[in-house]
Amino acid sequence: MGLDIIAQKKKELGLTNEELARLSGVPKGTIDKILSGVTKDPKLETLKAIAKVLGLSLDDFNDAPKKNEPSYDDIEKLVARNGRKLSADQKLRLIKLLSEIDIPGE
């Protein structure tokens, strides 16, 4: 879980741990433990309270890379799941679109 964003955002806003605790209602000791890495998986309600003060969403704590474009596997699953529902024209358009894509390593 990407909890490092708490320290980053707290610094941007010029907040101390004490101020974050007061504004969020989360005990300072809990905030200290989260920021030091002692607590690696804080409770959802704790994250919600901290996120609200810092102007973050819960998604901001997710350290998985955000997908900007679908992967080959995503496309393959989509076609497999919906292929029978596509008209002949839609299938031809999809084939044309896919044939124009540069695939690295091929």
Ordered structural domains, the chain, with CATH: 4-61 (1.10.260.40), 67-106 (no CATH)
CB 34 within 8 A of CB 3: yes
Question: What pLDDT sits at residue 30?
Answer: 96
Question: What pLDDT sits at residue 17?
Answer: 95
Which residue type does 87 have? S
What is this structure's pTM?
0.59
Mean pLDDT by 10 residues, the chain (106 residues): 85 94 96 92 93 90 66 75 80 80 65
Question: What pLDDT sits at residue 49?
Answer: 95
Question: What pLDDT sits at residue 82?
Answer: 77
CB 58 within 8 A of CB 51: yes
